[in-house]
Structure 1
Amino acid sequence: MVAGLVATSACTAEGGDAAEVDVDAQSVGAMEDFAADEQFTATEPFDLSMLWTDWPEVPVTDDWQIFDVIEERTGVSIDLTHIPFSDATEKRSLLISAGDAPTVIPLVYTGEEEPFVSSGAVLPISDYVEYMPNFQKYVEEWDLGAMVERLKQSDGKYYMLPGLQEVSVPVFTLIIRKDVFDEVGAPAPETWEDLRTGLELIKEKYPDSKPLADGFEGQSMLNYAAHAFGTQAGWGFGDGTIWNEEKGELEYAGTSEGYRSMVEYFHGLVEADLLDTESFTAADAGGGAANVAEKIANNQVFAASGSNGTVNEFAAALDAAGVTDYELVQLAPPGGEAGMVVEPRNFWNGFMLSADIAESPNFIATLQFLDWLYYNPEARELLRWGVEGETYDKAADGTITLKPEFSYDDFNINPDGATDIKKDLGWGNDVLAGSTESRELKESYNAPQFVEYIDTVLSTRTPRDPNPPAPLDEAELEQASLLSTPLSDAVRTATLQFILGDRDLSEWDAYVAELEAAGLQTYVDLIDGARERFAEQNG
């Protein structure tokens, strides 16, 4: 018996029917009175299958400690099904649709679960979160309840659990050579207009440069820039709809005035020869982000998109080029006509469960294990750093220090260490390590400049309110999928054409008419109708 429950437990999710759990039959390996912040150890060992995305530069090897240590501490042996990073989303969809997916499906972002809800292929996990005390504790402590509510589908249940972030700041933003901005008398830009002024001054000093670059086909820069113009774009385009507070309805972002203003701004940079257009068109493998690092090292680019890891890549390129006197700064995303606004507070990647786990005798033990793995603070530290006393030491004040024989190359920690804890041991891997993080853990592996970045974003920027939930039913999902892809493809194509000057901005109305002819209004009405229905059903 688990936590004194009766033999059959009815777990309920608001807005949905109860899900029955035979506690006696499905508690094999489960702990009695499992609580938040305690070690999960299965009372009977069991195997658990997991989908694993392989990055080509970080292949899983027999020497990885991570799975052995997890098994030693929990009694759970993780069996991996490998898919390549290059087409991970497609491979994952095929496995789920065919009923061949492993039990645990990690590296899932919010919204990616929707195509699998109607088929019953994935578990309505909201029915069972009573068995996950760590998840419940940190949702409450970090004030994420409203975000969890937005995970609900049309049946009032949610089908994935996200990684939780105590503090949420944009992952990608603008990185500048601050030493060069200082050199030309341009302060670190607070707004996009400030940035243009600085780029113009740099262009005068370095006439052969195109000082601003993206490196991610424009999708990164447009993502974090869009919010300052009151819209969404690039990686953050989502389903294309955005909340219009004045009208009290969803509208299509790609036809809004804010979107047009954003396009006009970046087109103006191209006209002034301030934007490296190749970085808006070249895929990474063909000269994207890696090419931008080379251009930064060669004084051709002085501001570019990136994350905290990209700062290290740019620094390595400058060092290799013999540049010694430089300062790279990761800026809070610049503000604009919509204010000092950044993307909505969000979750990070989490997981889904294959629906058949609900019939397993290890069902409750599996929920407890994943609750520990994804949300327990000690587990999160383990996944990031490895074994305390073996790969790292922890001081009384919480400061973590990697032992000198180990390196963490992703963050340029102990670069002379013989063993990289990620590539050689599996700690800090991209599938599990970054999902849920306290602020303390996030700061433990990042440079002081990133801590300053967090402070600056939290103190000077306001997250845009997330769009209201608009979950679609099965028939609506099918109709929406037929409309959304051609619409978003047309938006992306036209956006780059307008910015690069391949299409004149005088054709904006014609572009809008093309979207309308492709079913734009039908699509927006469909999404906004789902929003209205969900709001009525959920008060």
Structure 2
Amino acid sequence: MVKVFKKLVLLVAVLTVVATILSACSNDKKTEANVEKSKTSMDGYKVGDTFKAKKPVKFSILYSDHPNYPYKKDWLLWKEMKKRTNVTLKPTIVPMSDYEQKRSLLISSGDAPLIIPKTYPGQEAAFVSSGAILPVSDYIDKMPNFKEKVKKWNMQADLDTLRQEDGKFYVLPGLHEEIWPDYSLAVRTDIFKKNNIAIPKTWAELQSALKKLKEVYPDVTPFSDRWQMNSTLNIAATSFGTVAGWGTTSGMQYDESKDKYVFSGATKEYKDMVTYFHSLVEQGLLDKESLTQDDQQAIQKFVSGKSFVIGANAQELVAYRTSMDKNLGKGKYSIQKIMVPGGPAGQVMAGSRLENGIMINAKAKDDPNFDTMLQFIDWLWYSDEGEEFAKWGVEGTTYTKENGKRKLAKDVNYVGLNPSGTKALNTDFGFSGGVFAYGGTTELLQSTFSDEELKFQKEMADTKTPLKANPPYPLSEGDREQATLLSTPLKDMTSQNTLRFINGSRPLSEWDKYVSELKAKGMDKYSDLINKAYKDFKKKN
């Protein structure tokens, strides 16, 4: 019995020693893993540092391929990126037209690359409940440039609009220092000047100007719009105190006086806006085909002198001039993108300082170079140096810089800034593309603007009051599905009836009947769902 006991004691001792050795080995492995995990990241990485991984690393990325400047593996962008950062990106190339669908398929199948850019705020919501993407708000402390810009530009409220039901956000948005207005109306300034008509600053003044044009040119419908009027309705809705067109999104708008969300398409403000544009059609001032014609039809009318007003942005203004040089002749016309007109709600400006940004595959957190990846993303997308690199390229090769002012190299062109350049900054070098070059200071944003566009931006900034960001109302997965089922037919009905009210095929006397039809489609149920989510989130946060 004593011998058996001694053997047991000896066995326990041996097992204890073995367990201790195994534990030590395990701890050694954990230590090795931790060392491995931080082996390539920079020590003490902070704002102002030029990021460079300690050793070469590779990260997979989803790449939206733009047809105007298709992907090239020999771009200077890739070579210089590797040289500066020690990072090689392995892109999964997806045509821009299929990007959203392909992104969803890859995430759902678990095959998505680690870095998933070109994601607009709100698009990430569909992937939150599955756990497929990272709650990036948990890792902001590892991104000093991102943190610094949020603090410096007072953007915490902007980020709050991204928070999901759990209080976290899942997309790293592009950050703009200020709201960037782009879309407005282009007018034939030569025609206005010839007939002593002032450039309108309100929608009422625009109507008066169009009436005068109609009197002088009775055979012309002076305003023929493009984008099925989605741009014009969007910019007009803001000054009427509502949302419409491209700005419809969920169809809900926040009423600060009542501290609740209401369905925009049923409001008095929306009716006022629709009534205004109906009156333009009724008086022969607005082409009723504006709501249905394709862009080329609208453009052809404007560039050939068959209309005098059309929707525009800075890039399209350049395209209009190219066509008009051929159709009307250089020096035979003049056009201008005018300040967005003000309306009943005043000279206000909607917009977000958040740009499309990045989702990160949840698998990334287990990658041994995860911290390195976060530092790389922080530098390229959020540091002043990285943003300048993504936009302008390599100093001395694609551009020069003197007294802080950048200038394209003699042989490089971009958006008409250097027409004699034989190479394009985006097509031939890969810079100023749609995947990396977003966000940054207003100075950097405007560094590629023409003098004309700078004047437009200044007038907008000096005249307009930016609206506050709407408070968030994150939905649970079940509520999100329900909201989609309710909102889709409601928005479709609003869109169809907006067209009919404006073009006169449905009389405005039936407005109350139309609102009743919205209620029959579940408008009140949808509003209750959104407001419950808003109140719940507000209470929790």
The TM-score with structure 1 as length reference comes to 0.91
Shift of 1:517: 1.3
Q: Matched residue of 2:396: which SS?
A: coil
Q: Matched residue of 1:394: which SS?
A: strand
Among the aligned pairs, what percent are the same residue?
40
The 8 Å contact of residues 210 and 274 in structure 1, kept in 2 or not, is answered as: yes
C-alpha distance in structure 2 between counterparts of 1:72 and 1:277, whole Å: 56
**Which residue does the alignment assign to 2:520?**
517
Residues 275-424 of structure 1: pairs in structure 2 closer than 5 A: 275-282=286-293, 287-288=294-295, 290-321=296-327, 322-396=329-403, 398-408=404-414, 411-424=415-428
Shift of 1:484: 1.4
**Which residue does the alignment assign to 2:431?**
427
Letter paired with 1:34: Y
The 8 Å contact of residues 189 and 195 in structure 1, kept in 2 or not, is answered as: yes
Letter paired with 2:232: M
The 8 Å contact of residues 383 and 427 in structure 1, kept in 2 or not, is answered as: yes
How big is each residue's C-alpha offset from its partner over 1:477-515, in whole Å with a ceiling of 9 and x where there is no partner?
121121111211221122112112222222222221222
**Which residue does the alignment assign to 1:169?**
180
Check 1:484–1:61 CA distance in 2 against 1; reply closer, same or farther (3 A cut). Answer: same
My pick for the range that moved more, 64-73 or 522-531, is: 64-73
Shift of 1:84: 2.0
Check 1:208–1:459 CA distance in 2 against 1; reply closer, same or farther (3 A cut). Answer: same
RMSD: 1.7
C-alpha distance in structure 1 between counterparts of 2:106 and 2:325, whole Å: 44
Which has the larger share of helix?
2
Does structure 1 residue 127 correspond to structure 2 residue 138?
Answer: yes
C-alpha distance in structure 2 between counterparts of 1:208 and 1:77, whole Å: 60
**How many residues align structurally?**
509
Letter paired with 2:93: H
Check 1:382–1:500 CA distance in 2 against 1; reply closer, same or farther (3 A cut). Answer: same
How big is each residue's C-alpha offset from its partner over 1:422-481, in whole Å with a ceiling of 9 and x where there is no partner?
112211112222x11211112211111111112111111112222211111122112112
Q: Matched residue of 2:185: which SS?
A: strand
How big is each residue's C-alpha offset from its partner over 1:11-54, in whole Å with a ceiling of 9 and x where there is no partner?
xxxxxxxxxxx864532421111111221111121111111112
C-alpha distance in structure 2 between counterparts of 1:361 and 1:453, whole Å: 48
Bigger CA radius of gyration: 2
C-alpha distance in structure 2 between counterparts of 1:140 and 1:176, whole Å: 40
C-alpha distance in structure 2 between counterparts of 1:331 and 1:142, whole Å: 28
Shift of 1:179: 2.5
**Structure 2 counterpart of 1:536, from 527, 536, 539:** 539
Shift of 1:365: 0.5
Does structure 1 residue 116 correspond to structure 2 residue 127?
Answer: yes
Q: Matched residue of 2:262: which SS?
A: strand
The 8 Å contact of residues 318 and 324 in structure 1, kept in 2 or not, is answered as: no
Residues 438-453 of structure 1: pairs in structure 2 closer than 5 A: 438-453=441-456
My pick for the range that moved more, 56-65 or 255-264, is: 56-65
**Which residue does the alignment assign to 1:500?**
503
**Structure 2 counterpart of 1:470, from 461, 470, 473:** 473
Letter paired with 2:393: G
The 8 Å contact of residues 501 and 507 in structure 2, kept in 1 or not, is answered as: yes
What 5-or-longer segments of structure 2 have no aligned partner?
1-32
What 5-or-longer segments of structure 1 have no aligned partner?
1-21
My pick for the range that moved more, 161-170 or 322-331, is: 322-331
Check 1:371–1:23 CA distance in 2 against 1; reply closer, same or farther (3 A cut). Answer: farther
**Which residue does the alignment assign to 1:141?**
152
Q: Matched residue of 1:217: which SS?
A: helix
The TM-score with structure 2 as length reference comes to 0.91
How big is each residue's C-alpha offset from its partner over 1:117-162, in whole Å with a ceiling of 9 and x where there is no partner?
1111111000000010111111112221211122111101000011
**Which residue does the alignment assign to 2:68?**
57
Shift of 1:292: 3.3
C-alpha distance in structure 1 between counterparts of 2:102 and 2:287, whole Å: 34
How big is each residue's C-alpha offset from its partner over 1:207-235, in whole Å with a ceiling of 9 and x where there is no partner?
33322233111111111110111000111
Letter paired with 1:443: Q
**Which residue does the alignment assign to 1:239?**
250
**Which residue does the alignment assign to 1:93?**
104
